[in-house]
């Protein structure tokens, strides 16, 4: 029997530009069908060849309203570095793929993550949408191209004994990533680390470690230290001297969390 392990991929879909995911007037901005939802996100994998056996993902629903409006298939692309060089950017979030001509050299594989209730999805108000790879209509069909053998550039990881895997994601159907979590009362203090909120319960859309943005400011406010239904506590004072107005919407840079399951 092989040795099994998992690796978490937590992409940043804002990456310093909230205009890719939210309109300045606070209205929701759809990321279009076939558009990039996150560019290359690097993770370390224990060195040596291994087999990717499973992919699961949990994805926040639109404004915490789970159901058909929040469901979209995702196409994941896997790549490796070559001679220490990462693959060329695939483009900005909410944009079409750029001419990444070197992808043929960096390509490792790809997987389709289904999102309809008949092809491997569980949906519900507590977890919004959970995706996994699933076999097709007969025994010869395997959705997503799994299992897949990965052989990455040796010792390319951040630490000794690890190789680096790059993951990029495309969204197959249009949907937005608004949270519906809004500031309850203006904040002008440069030492405040607690944001009182209303609207959607904060715990439905934010988790510890998530990066928080204001709907019209490109500097992140900080990362979540703790969260309740009505408060978000950051790890430090609100960054950048940013003032928060009553009813400003808070955005989550990490609404997608992917778990890759490997066998060696």
DSSP state of 135: B
d(CA 161, CA 48): 9
H/E element, 225 = strand 222-227
Residue 1 or 176, more confident = 176
DSSP state of 200: S
Q: For residue range 56-74, what is the model confidence (pLDDT) as tens digits? A: 888 898 998 877 677 788 8
CA distances from 189 to 169, 183, 199, 243, 244 (A): 38, 14, 22, 8, 9
Q: Is 34 helix (H, G, I), strand (E, B) or coil?
A: coil
Among 91, 85, 81, residue whose Cα is nearest residue 150? 81
Q: Is 163 helix (H, G, I), strand (E, B) or coil?
A: strand
d(CA 224, CA 206): 8
- Which pLDDT does position 135 carry in this prediction? 47
How much is the average pLDDT of 19-26? 87
Q: For residue range 203-226, what is the model confidence (pLDDT) as tens digits? A: 999 999 999 999 999 999 999 999
- Which pLDDT does position 116 carry in this prediction? 56
Percent of the chain with pLDDT over 90: 45
Model confidence at 151, pLDDT cuts 50, 70, 90, reads low
DSSP state of 142: B
């Amino acid at each position: 029997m092989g040795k099994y392990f998992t690796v978490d991929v937590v992409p940043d879909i804002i990456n310093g530009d909230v205009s890719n995911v939210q309109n300045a007037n606070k209205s929701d901005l759809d990321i279009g069908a076939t558009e990039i939802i996150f560019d290359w996100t690097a993770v370390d994998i224990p060195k040596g060849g291994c087999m990717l056996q499973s992919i699961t993902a949990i994805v926040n629903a639109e404004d915490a309203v789970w159901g058909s409006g929040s469901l979209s298939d995702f196409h994941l692309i896997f790549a490796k570095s070559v001679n220490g060089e990462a693959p060329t950017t695939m483009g900005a979030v909410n944009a079409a793929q750029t001419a990444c001509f070197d992808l043929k050299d960096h390509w490792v594989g790809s997987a389709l993550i289904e999102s309809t209730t008949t092809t491997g999805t569980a949906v519900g108000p507590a977890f919004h949408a959970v995706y996994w790879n699933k076999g097709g209509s007969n025994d010869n069909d395997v959705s997503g191209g799994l299992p897949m053998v990965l052989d990455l550039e040796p010792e390319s990881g951040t630490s000794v004994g690890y190789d680096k895997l790059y993951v990029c994601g495309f969204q197959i159907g249009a949907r937005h990533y608004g949270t519906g979590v809004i500031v309850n009362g203006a904040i002008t203090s440069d030492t405040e680390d607690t944001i009182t909120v209303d609207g959607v319960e904060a715990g439905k859309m934010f988790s510890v470690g998530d990066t928080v943005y204001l709907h019209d400011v490109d500097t992140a406010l900080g990362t979540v230290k703790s969260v309740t239904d009505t408060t978000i506590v950051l790890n430090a004072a609100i960054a950048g001297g940013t003032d928060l107005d009553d009813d400003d919407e808070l955005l989550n840079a990490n609404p997608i969390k992917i778990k890759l399951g490997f066998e060696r």
